[in-house]
Amino acid sequence: MKLSVFFFAIGLVFLMAACGPSDEDKARTKLNFAKVLLEKQDTTAALLQLDSISKLYPKAPYSQNAAKNLMTEINFELLQRKESQLDTIKSRITKLENLFVTEKTEFDRYTRYIHKRQTLQRSLIRSFIQIHLDERGDLQLSSNYHGKSSINHYGIRVYDGDISAKTDSIPVGDPNNHQSDFMEFKWEKVTYRDGKDNGVIEFIANHSDRNLKAVFLGKGQFYIILEEFDKVAVKDALALSTAIKSKTELEKEVQVLQKKLQIN
């Protein structure tokens, strides 16, 4: 009697297991959840749900096929959207490039963009803030001093009223702190690379409509009022840098989507 009850219980367990939701049922639930996520504009999460169906439920061919078709549809729409954004960015780059001249000497690894307002001819005998941009979108700032005596400056602070931004310090003797003499004049150029501008570029671009001043920080302090064309040059260079970097990222995303659609 006890043995019969035992086998009956075992059979009941197997029967209940057999009557549970199938892989197809579970996969269909996940598929529907992905559709809900799409309605909520959460495309990334929806794609993750769809991509997991074939891995989690290998015995659900119908849902797998539906998930694959839906993923192809989503990726195709994403590709079209990214390509449209890429066309817009390229158009913006072309427009901004007209504000610059390009140059690549034997000492340059990348083509440089020089704003037409900051060419060498316009900057021979003045103290000013200069923006530097290359074809990768890499952006740098430099402070250029020209005067009768050295000030040994190592940084700058740009300000107007109660707002200001200050670069990191580049000490005298550092390769990015260059000093030279020409006749009776002193030349100093400090270049702030790899984020050493400490937000000064964005500060100038965001407040280009204000009467910005700059103090050259060093042994002796030297003050200038930023020229309108120098502020414009910084603003234009930041816009072009942002556009170039966006273009690079979009091109990568387009390539990934194209590869996915070829596989599918």
User: What's the pLDDT band for 22 if we cut at 50, 70, 90?
Assistant: confident
Condensed to tens digits (0 to 9), the pLDDT of residues 172-216 reads 999 999 999 878 899 999 999 999 999 999 999 999 999 999 999
Between residues 77 and 16, which one has the greater pLDDT? Answer: 77
User: What's the pLDDT band for 8 if we cut at 50, 70, 90?
Assistant: very low
Can you tell me the distance from the alpha carbon of 228 to that of 238, in angstroms, rounded to the nearest whole number? 16
Picking from 171, 92, 103, 182, the residue whose alpha carbon sits closest to that of residue 146 is 182
Can you tell me the distance from the alpha carbon of 152 to that of 139, in angstroms, rounded to the nearest whole number? 24
Can you tell me the distance from the alpha carbon of 170 to that of 174, in angstroms, rounded to the nearest whole number? 7
Place of tokens 């109660």: 162
User: What's the pLDDT band for 247 if we cut at 50, 70, 90?
Assistant: very high
Q: Is the pLDDT of residue 10 over 60?
A: no
What pLDDT is recorded for position 263?
Answer: 63
Q: Count other C-beta atoms under 10 Å from residue 25's C-beta.
A: 12
What pLDDT is recorded for position 122?
Answer: 64
For the chain, the C-alpha Rg in angstroms (whole number) is 31
Q: What is the mean pLDDT of the chain?
A: 89
Q: What is the mean pLDDT of residues 163-175?
A: 97
Between residues 84 and 19, which one has the greater pLDDT? Answer: 84
Can you tell me the distance from the alpha carbon of 140 to that of 157, in angstroms, rounded to the nearest whole number? 16
Determine which of 44-53, 72-81, 96-105 has the lowest per-residue pLDDT on average: 44-53
Q: Is the pLDDT of residue 130 over 60?
A: yes
Q: Is the pLDDT of residue 77 over 70?
A: yes
Q: Which two tokens stand for residue 7?
A: 């086998």
User: What's the pLDDT band for 169 if we cut at 50, 70, 90?
Assistant: very high
Can you tell me the distance from the alpha carbon of 170 to that of 154, in angstroms, rounded to the nearest whole number? 5
Q: Is the pLDDT of residue 110 over 90?
A: yes
Q: What is the mean pLDDT of residues 217-246?
A: 96
What pLDDT is recorded for position 12?
Answer: 43
Q: Is the pLDDT of residue 16 over 50?
A: no
Can you tell me the distance from the alpha carbon of 244 to that of 232, in angstroms, rounded to the nearest whole number? 18
What contacts 24+ positions apart, CB below 8 Å, involve 228-231? Answer: 229/117, 229/118, 229/122, 230/117, 230/118, 230/128, 230/129, 230/130, 231/204, 231/205
What pLDDT is recorded for position 216?
Answer: 97
- Are 215 and 222 in contact by the 8 Å Cβ rule? The answer is yes
Can you tell me the distance from the alpha carbon of 249 to that of 229, in angstroms, rounded to the nearest whole number? 30
Q: Is the pLDDT of residue 123 over 80?
A: no
Between residues 192 and 126, which one has the greater pLDDT? Answer: 192
Q: Is the pLDDT of residue 14 over 50?
A: no
Q: Which two tokens stand for residue 145?
A: 């001093």
Measured between its terminal Cα atoms, the distance across the chain in Å is: 59
Between residues 237 and 58, which one has the greater pLDDT? Answer: 237
The H or E element spanning position 23 is helix 23-39
Q: Is 146 helix (H, G, I), strand (E, B) or coil?
A: strand
